[in-house]
Structure 1
Amino acid sequence: MLPVVGWREMVDLPELGLARIPAKIDTGARTSSLHGQVIDEFARNGEKYVRFAVDWDGERHECEAVHVDIRGVTSSNGETQRRYVIKTPLTIGEVRFRAEISLADRSDMKFPMLVGRSSLRRRFVVDSGYSWLQSRGMEAVKGHRP
């Protein structure tokens, strides 16, 4: 049986040094996205990397990740943007896997991260009536199912 996630969860991006990021679970979005501003593109050991800044939790975190692609991604307002896509481990609850994540300006959004259906597929079932089902320490939040 697959673990159940709510419509919002705390997630970790361990190789980026980011923990307990509030994320919206969005089955309408194909690709996951993270609020990040690209600083630099470079090569290391023959692989393409991207250096980017994540402004979250009152701090600026500089991160580096393997740069997989630059893709046209259609945002929720119907606008297509060219975005860097990285591949990095993502942890939701006890499940850890490598996810493709686009870097986007999410400064106007409530959540710094969005987890799309490509990351959810065959790993989780979504119950949109609840929140924080895989997020330890969030049990007291309204809408949490024990």
Structure 2
Amino acid sequence: MKLLPIISLSLLLSACASQQYEQQHQQTLGQLDQLSSQQSALLEQCQAISEQLESQQQHFEQLDEKIDGIVIPSTNPQKPTVKTCTSQTSYKLGNKTVLGEAEWVSLERQTNAFQARIDTGASTSSLNATDIVQFERDGKNWVRFNMRHDTLDKDILVERPVIRSAEVIQSSTNQVDKRPVVSMLVKLGPITEKTEFTLTDRKHLSYPVLLGRSFLKDISVVDVSKKFTQAKPTFKD
């Protein structure tokens, strides 16, 4: 009699376990079906993308064929040449003289002509000066310097009164250096103007003279495609 309840309990537990297993099995099958559906959807999307790419490739091939059919006339491009002038000329734009990016200039009390960089990006003009010595003459500050440069055949010593000092920031050290400023007459083609020059070492640069906006404003414009549009001037002209 005692075995009957035990057997009944065992059968009940077995049935419960079997039912639970069946439920888990059904859940697993459901998850597998869901994954299979998602995979099918992804495959369909991939197929659609593949078809779009193939269509675009065909379109590109058609464009390539059209481009290949375009005939471009053959040309023999020549490198741009810098226009120069060996005789006295004067290019005008309105009432302003047109200058190239480099010109010949003559400086006050100098018989030599100097090559000058015409730079609209510089606010002031500068002059190559080495061996600078400041001294006093008749109670005024003067400066003596050498215009030594590779473009010059010989050293040129210059003495000029100092009108003021300019602070120049050295690009290599960011230190502020005070430089003397002198005023000189400049002759460039038909232009004769007095301008201020900051004395600085330009031996490592291509031109011993730089003319900035302080000289150029109101009297000239610059065409950077040209060089030496004006003949070499002298104050004997």
2:130 alignment partner AA: Q
SS at match of 1:60: coil
1:2 to 96, 107, 113: 96
> Is the contact between residue 4 and residue 134 of structure 1 (CA under 8 Å) also seen in structure 2?
no
Does residue 50 of structure 1 match 2:146? Answer: no
1:36 to 89, 106, 129: 129
Q: Aligned-pair distance for 1:134? A: 2.1
Considering fraction of residues, name the structure with more helix: 2
User: What letter matches 2:107 in structure 1?
Assistant: L
User: Which residues in structure 2 correspond to 1:105-144 (within 5 Å)?
Assistant: 105-136=201-232
| Paired residue type of 2:203 | S
Moved more, 38-47 or 103-112: 38-47
Give the superposition deviation at 1:69: 1.3
User: Could you tell me how far 1:105 is from its partner in structure 2?
Assistant: 0.7
- Give 1:23-102 correspondences, 5 Å limit: 23-56=116-149, 57-74=152-169, 79=174, 80-102=176-198
Once the two structures are superposed, residues 12-52 of structure 1 have per-residue CA deviations (whole angstroms, 9 ceiling, x without a partner) of: 1122x252111110111111111112432223333321111
CA–CA separation in structure 2 for the residues paired with 1:77 and 1:2: 37
Distance 1:40 1:105 in 2: 13
Q: CA deviation at 1:77?
A: 6.9
Shift of 1:136: 4.5
| Equivalent position SS for 1:59 | coil
Is the contact between residue 128 and residue 208 of structure 2 (CA under 8 Å) also seen in structure 1? yes
In 2, the alpha carbon distance for the partners of 1:78 and 1:129 equals: 34
> Hey, what's the Cα distance between the residues in 1 that align with 2:160 and 2:100?
28
Identity of aligned residues (%): 31
The answer to whether residue 121 in structure 2 is matched with residue 21 in structure 1 is no
TM-score (norm 1): 0.82
Check conservation: 1:38, 1:50, Cα contact below 8 A: no
Question: What SS does the corresponding residue of 2:163 show, helix, strand or coil?
Answer: strand
Larger Cα Rg: Structure 1 or Structure 2? Answer: 2
Runs of 4+ in 1 over 3 A off after TM superposition: 74-81
Q: Deviations 1:61-87 (Å, cap 9, x if unpaired)? A: 111112111111346779443211100
Which consecutive residues of structure 2, in runs of 5 or more, have no partner in the other structure? 1-94
Equivalent position of 2:45 in the other structure: none
Aligned to 2:48: none
The structure showing larger relative contact order (alpha-carbon pairs under 8 Å, at least 6 residues apart) is 1
User: 1:18 and 1:26, CA in 2 relative to 1: closer, same or farther beyond 3 A?
Assistant: farther
In 1, Cα distance between the equivalents of 2:189 and 2:216? 13
8 A Cα contact 2:105 2:232, kept in partner: no
* TM-score, reference length from structure 2: 0.52
Code of the aligned partner of 2:154: E
Number of aligned positions between the proteins: 136
Call closer, same or farther: CA 1:94–1:76 in 2, change over 3 Å. Answer: farther
